[in-house]
Amino acid sequence: MKKDESVKKMYNRMKKITNQIKLLGGDKWGDREIVNKLLTVYMVRDVTLPSLIRAERGFNHFTAENVLGRIEAHHDQLKRVKINQDLAELQEQAAKNNGLALQAKSKAKKRQTNPQKMKTLVVMMMTSLMMSK
């Protein structure tokens, strides 16, 4: 698996290779072998997820598409967690800036960050991340 390669691209590349092997008369690469290879190769990025997938009930009947879907769902969940963390950080920063702005306004009329602009920026960032899926 290449460093910047998505799991879907790696799977498609592996599928092309296995289809060529099958066309040449090879029968070693069935669904089980592809699933095992997919999880083994993915362990370079994340050791835990393949182990969790293998431990699921009915794993022996999973197809490569099932495993790929589980990995992609995990990636989507990680993206949502990252968005929520970024949002919480921005909200905390906006609240902090708002408090500082009130203090600064009363003391020396310093330039302040508009909390509404921060909220708009957060919404734009979340929309952009969701659209990139």
Domain boundaries, given as residue ranges, for the chain = 7-131
pTM for this predicted structure: 0.60
Task: Measure the CA–CA gap between 30 and 8, rounded to whole angstroms.
Answer: 18
What pLDDT is recorded for position 110? Answer: 45
Buried b (16+ CB within 10 A) or exposed e, 95-132: eebeeebeeeeeeeeeeeeeeeebeeebeeebeeeeee
What pLDDT is recorded for position 23? Answer: 85
What pLDDT is recorded for position 130? Answer: 65
Q: What residue type is 57 in one-letter code?
A: R
- Per-residue pLDDT tens, the chain, 133 aa: give them: 677 778 888 888 888 888 888 888 877 777 888 888 888 888 888 888 888 898 889 888 888 889 998 999 998 999 999 999 988 888 888 877 766 555 555 554 444 456 666 677 677 776 766 666 5
Q: Computed from CA positions of residues 84, 86, 89, 91, in that sequence, does the dihedral angle turn out positive or negative?
A: negative
